[in-house]
Structures are given as structure tokens and as C-alpha cells.
Structure 1
Amino acid sequence: MNYFKILLFSTALSLFTNINAQEVTDYDLQRFAKAYSEMVQLNLKAQNEMAEIIADEKLDLEVYHAINDTKNNPDIEPDVPEEDFDKYEKVQPKIEKIQDKLESDVTKAYARQELTKRDYTAIAERLKQDPLLQTRLEKMLTKLR
């Protein structure tokens, strides 16, 4: 019987430790909020640059996405003129360059807040599960604006 009590106590202690390990401090949340805010700005800038490149090539954004969505599925080919495929191929290297720069800039945004991608993702996952944490984040984001 004592073995069972020790096992139960150890299990409860382990669960309690894991719950606390997942807790997000105000400091963690503040760093997350700053990184998130910067990432939103970086993403918006990159999207605008990509849209401009696509528009400069006289390629419709929806057509671009239709072609891009089928690149990983050779069984599907969008019903668009051949010249649009040529335009897509012309803009794609420029788009990939912007995406690579965005990824690099995001990594730097994490680092400026002393976060890794793993840290950021862990906090984001915790936020999805915790409405109170979401409220705290929203207040912090409001102050940052």
C-alpha cells in the first residue's frame, strides 16, 4: 500500500511540475508580444513587396496562387494561359528571395527578444489554450501600438 501512495504522490508531483513548466511569465509574454508585433510588421512588408512584384509582371494574384498551390501536386494543373506560367516562373525567384529574407528577419526578431523559434512556438501553443493569457497578451500588444 505504501508503494502505491509513493507512486501516486510522485505522479502528482510530476504533473504539478509539468503544469508549472508550461506557465508563461509576464516577462516571457512581454518578449513574445514584442517579437509578435515585429513579426506582423515584417510579414506585412514582405506581403506588400511580393504583391508588387507579382503585379509588376502583370500577373493576377489569384492566378499566382492557383499556380503556386499546384506546384506540389503535379496531378492538378490550373486552367490559366501558358503565358501566366511563364510570368510565374519569372517572379518566383524574386518571391523566394523575399521569403528567405523574411525568415531571416523573423529569426532576428526572436533573437532580439531573447527567444528561439521553439520558445516562441511554445508560448504560442500555450496562448491557444489559455483565454486569460490571451487577454494579458492583448493588453500588452495594445500598449506596444
Structure 2
Amino acid sequence: MQFALPGEWRKADLDDPAALAALTGLLPDEQQGSTPWLESIRAAGAQTLLLSIRATPPSAIVFIWPPEEADGDPSVEGLRRRLGLEGEVITHHDGYATLRQHQTAESSPVDVVTYALAHPDSGRVLVVRCMAFDGRFEEFKIEDFDLAASDLAWEEL
């Protein structure tokens, strides 16, 4: 899998407690340690965490392989039905069904942009969740994420 973003990002595998603790220790105080968002992404099948601490606002990206979505309908409609997402369709360079859902809440300091992609051959789903802590993503950041998601691909083995 390839994923390229501008700026400085640090990576940790979620099964490496030492690397994860070092990385999450760089987050704002209220987001450090074993937080509900970290536990929820682990439970959903997340394997990799990227953090951009120097960004304004500090941001995280997680890659989630939902175990129950290893195969199925690879169409946009199938992706919507399988995940219950009503997001916007993003045009993908290699024909992967790709949706983006942007969730903001006045009561929460966290801004969330979720991408869901289905492999056109197997239907395997990848969910990429982008989170901004203590602020909202500017429109140009979401456009950067759209570009990255529209080029994200993986080989089924």
C-alpha cells in the first residue's frame, strides 16, 4: 500500500506499545495515553497510525482493515450498504469505489474525515480515518487527503 502526504508525519504500528506510547505522548495533553479514540480504532481493525504533531491542528491518520469486510460488493453502492456511509464519491485513479465522509460537531474539538475504499477485484475494504485534534481541517488539507485517497491502492495476494 502506498500513501503520500505533504508535511512531516510519524508512523507507529498499533501492535507496538512502545512506539505507540512515544508517538501519542506528543499529542495535546487531553489526547495522550489510552484514550477512547485509540481503543475504538484498535477494535475496528486499525493497524497503523500516522501523526503530524507540528501541523495546525495536530493530526492523526489511521488505516483500518475491517476484518468482516475482506470481500464483498466492490461498487460504490456496495460500499455504502456494507459500511452504512452516505459520504461523497471521490474519483479514484484505478477505479476503486471511494467515499469520503466529513464529520464535525460543535461540541467536539476533534474533526474527522473518513475515507472508505473497496478493491475493485476482491471487494476488500480499507477505511482511512483522518482526525484533527483541537481544531478543524482547512479545505486545502481535505483536498490533499482527497488526492492521496484517489491514488491509494494495494495488491491482493
The TM-score normalised by the length of structure 2 is 0.19
The higher relative CO (CA closer than 8 Å, separation ≥ 6) is in 1
Larger Rg: 1
